[in-house]
Amino acid sequence: MSNNSNDFQQNHQHSTNSDTHHNSTHEQRQWEQFQAYQNQQSKDKKKKAWIWGCSGCGGCLVLIILFIIGISALTASFSDSNSTSSGDNSTNSSNATRQEKAALNKAKTYSDTMHMSKQGIYDQLTSEYGEKFKEKEADYAIKHLKANYKKNALEKAKDYAEEQNMSNDAVYDQLTSSYGEKFTDEEAQYAVNHLD
């Protein structure tokens, strides 16, 4: 009977060691998968940080949106009180819809205060995360907005050069990037050529 007892203990001990080894391998595999996931998340955050020009906190984006909303509210109330006078950089057609006029006022704000590109303004007007105007309304706004996009590109270039100490090549790339400012090559080159 002691032989049977010893055999049982040895088999049980071997089974326990095997289970421990299996659990250890499984836990190690889970740990490696978790680390790979964390590395991927870190890379994704870095990509997003480059797009927004900050350290991925998201606070910069929130501040920009709040700033735009505040300026838009001020501009809208100013535009409403002076609706009979002609705008200095936009033309409101009398047969335009309320939505088209609103899109034009937003476009004017983006051009005047944020110095955005034509494509950047259009994208912001039509974005589901932005103003949510229909394409027709955004087209109207872009067509009737009197903006100097070379001047806007120069203002953005100055910000990048002075605030972020970027080289001319980096400024040019940021100005023309589809993830950045979306200026044309001509507008970006003008801006870089006229940096002090």
Closest to 110 in 3D by CA, of 50, 192, 181: 181
Question: Model-level pTM greater than 0.85?
Answer: no
Please state which CATH number belongs to domain 58-76+97-147.
Answer: 1.10.10.10
Q: Which residues contact 52 (CB under 8 A, 6 or more apart)?
A: 58, 60, 61
Rounded Cα distance, 126 and 65, in Å: 15
The pLDDT of residue 175 is above 50: yes
Please give the pLDDT value at position 45.
57
- Mean pLDDT of the region 151-156: 96
* CA quadruple 108, 111, 114, 116: dihedral sign: positive
* CA quadruple 152, 153, 155, 156: dihedral sign: positive
Please state which CATH number belongs to domain 149-196.
Answer: 1.10.10.10
Rounded Cα distance, 73 and 79, in Å: 10
Report in angstroms the alpha-carbon separations of 146 from 91, 94, 143: 8, 17, 8
**Segment 99-109, tens digit of pLDDT:** 999 999 999 99
Where do the domains of the chain lie?
58-76+97-147, 149-196
- Mean pLDDT of the region 41-58: 54
Please give the pLDDT value at position 26.
64
Instruction: Please check whether the two domains, 58-76+97-147 and 149-196, share a CATH topology.
Output: yes
Please give the pLDDT value at position 3.
52
Residue 145 sits at φ, ψ, to 5 deg, of -80, 125
